[in-house]
A and B are shown apart, each in its own frame.
Chain A
Amino acid sequence: MKRTFNYVVMIFVFTAMWIILNEKAGPMQIISGIGFSVLSIFFVNYYLLDDDYIDSYFLNPVSLLKYLFYLVFQIYKSGISAIFKISKGESAVKIIKYDSCLNKELAVCLLANAITLTPGTVTIDKTKNQLSILCFQDDEVFSSGSGGKSCSDFEKILRGI
């Protein structure tokens, strides 16, 4: 039942993307959108990926929206602090090990993605739930949470995914 619901959500999202790209929401676009969505899911399931991905890689839309809003906020926050680093000329960098409190593979990957997107931090490596992060010497955002004692706000959001 949950699996069918996930497929329906995917078809709905793909059809919406098709309508946006066609710039028209007529019956022809909706029908062709649904048709192409079903066809692309069928193609991916049978030729590209294992059928189990739908359960492993499905994202909760509400948590995804929360994640995106928080991500944009963090991007601007880090972007402004990076301006000060540039003007001061603080170029010393370090690599830290960060133990995430997340267990799901997809959530850890999304966390790594978010870390790389925020200016001043780049994820270099990932081993299970441990991330190697390249950051500026005085950066304490992720080094303070190292050891997995407490979850960052990103991780709290990603737990819902």
Chain B
Amino acid sequence: MIIDFISKVFIVLALIFMFFGVYGIFRFRDFYSRVLISSKVETVGFLTIMAGIMLKTGFGYSTLKILFICLMVIVTNPLSTHAVARSALKSGYKISEENNDD
């Protein structure tokens, strides 16, 4: 009963994190700050929602599978963010011009 409640709290917290992440993407106008904020939705929101699901399912193979997915995400997730930001910089997307647009 208590664990079920805690899991729901985790899921709600994850949704709050995700809400602020999506809100930030719409609020910020420049590309680079959007990249920085989008990584928040990917990591904090995802890990919290997974923690909530782990608590909800109880300890078992499904929990270990979710933990395994989390580890995979932790290893592979930064690669996509890095690739997007780096390719933008290499393509000549200037930071100062972006900030001046604000």
Contact = CB atoms under 8 A, between A and B. Distances in A.
A10 to B, nearest CB: 15
A54 interface: no
A11 B33 CA distance: 42
Nearest to A120: B36
Contact of B23 (A20, A86, A92, A134): A86
A115 to B, nearest CB: 8
Interface residues of B, number: 37
B37 interface: yes
Contacts of B86: 124-125
B61 interface: yes
A134 B78 contact: no
Contacts, number: 108
Contact of A82 (B24, B68, B89, B98): B24
Interface in A62-95: 68, 71-72, 75-76, 78-79, 82-83, 85-87, 89, 91-95
A130 interface: no
Given A79-B44, A120-B37, A120-B40, 13 more contacts: A20-B64, A20-B68, A82-B36, A87-B20, A93-B98, A93-B99, A113-B78, A117-B39, A119-B44, A122-B81, A134-B36, A134-B89, A136-B33
Interface of A: 17, 20-21, 23, 68, 71-72, 75-76, 78-79, 82-83, 85-87, 89, 91-95, 112-113, 116-125, 134-136
Interface of B: 17, 20-21, 23-24, 27-30, 32-33, 35-37, 39-40, 43-44, 47, 61-62, 64-65, 68, 74-75, 77-78, 81-82, 85-86, 89, 95, 98-99, 102
